[in-house]
Chain A
Amino acid sequence: RKEVEQDPGPFNVPEGATVAFNCTYSNSASQSFFWYRQDCRKEPKLLMSVYSSGNEDGRFTAQLNRASQYISLLIRDSKLSDSATYLCVVRLGRANNLFFGTGTRLTVIP
């Protein structure tokens, strides 16, 4: 079983729409959670960390549900520039190992 599982999509949404991605993780000992963004043919870049209390950064909201072992990312008022692959990332305990999901592809359509 994979450590991190995501719906690969693609999600095709119109500009201005709200879109949400979920990600599930298998190890209940996981301690840190993140969303990375990867543009086509580019390297991944940290989008935001996910805190237990949930956190918001502009149009982006991340939430963690430890009981159900899933993480979500909500994007409001989608922009064309939001088109990318969104990677869910989990860190286990104190290990220096981050487990990446295979990503969810988002395309925002004009």
Chain B
Amino acid sequence: DAGVIQSPRHEVTEMGQEVTLRCKPISGHNSLFWYRQTMMRGLELLIYFNNNVPIDDSGMPEDRFSAKMPNASFSTLKIQPSEPRDSAVYFCASSIDGKGEKLFFGSGTQLSVL
């Protein structure tokens, strides 16, 4: 199994630009999570989906952030417009059960907003 696949690995953009992060969960996993990691705040849950349906998006910082999961094998996290304070590592994770107890993380996207 290829594991959770994220793209791009690195993204450098200018303030105000739109950023789209992509994730392909492990086949057969029915839960997908988007996390953001910074030195100061650690790993924070942004949103999670169960069976492609958003269940909890209370962690999404503000309206500039949106996430979609059009099918079981693909999800996107979009930031529009991006700001320097969005700079972080964004991880996608999936789990086979509805409890998310054992998460499999992708390699992450290092986002730098200049």
Known: A96-B31, A96-B55. A44 touches B43 (CB 8 A): yes
Which residues of chain B (21-50) have a CB below 8 Å from chain A? Answer: 31, 35, 41-45, 48, 50
Which residues of chain A (87-110) have a CB below 8 Å from chain B? Answer: 87, 91, 94-103
Q: State whether B56 touches A91 (Cβ < 8 A).
A: no
Nearest CB to that of B49 among chain A residues?
Answer: A96
Looking at chain B's contact residues, the main secondary structure is strand
Q: State whether A91 touches B43 (Cβ < 8 A).
A: no
Number of A-B pairs whose CB atoms are under 8 Å? 49
User: Which residues in A have their C-beta under 8 angstroms from that of B107?
Assistant: 42-43
Q: State whether B91 touches A87 (Cβ < 8 A).
A: no
Assign chain A's interface to a size class.
20 to 34
Contact with A along B90-114 (1 / 0, CB 8 A): 0100000011111101111000000
User: Which residues in B have their C-beta under 8 angstroms from that of A34?
Assistant: 101
Interface: A32 (CB within 8 A): yes
Q: State whether A43 touches B101 (Cβ < 8 A).
A: no
CB distance from B12 to the nearest CB of A (A): 16
Q: State whether A43 touches B56 (Cβ < 8 A).
A: no
Interface: A66 (CB within 8 A): no
Q: Which of A42, A45, A49, A98 contacts B100 (CB 8 A)?
A: A98
The 8 closest A-B pairs by CB, nearest first: A102-B42, A43-B105, A100-B43, A96-B100, A44-B105, A46-B102, A43-B107, A100-B42
Binding site for A on B (CB under 8 A): 31, 35, 41-45, 48, 50, 55-56, 91, 98-103, 105-108
Known: A45-B105, A102-B42, A103-B42. 14 other contacts (CB 8 A): A32-B101, A43-B91, A43-B105, A44-B43, A49-B101, A91-B99, A91-B100, A94-B99, A95-B56, A96-B31, A98-B100, A100-B35, A100-B44, A101-B42
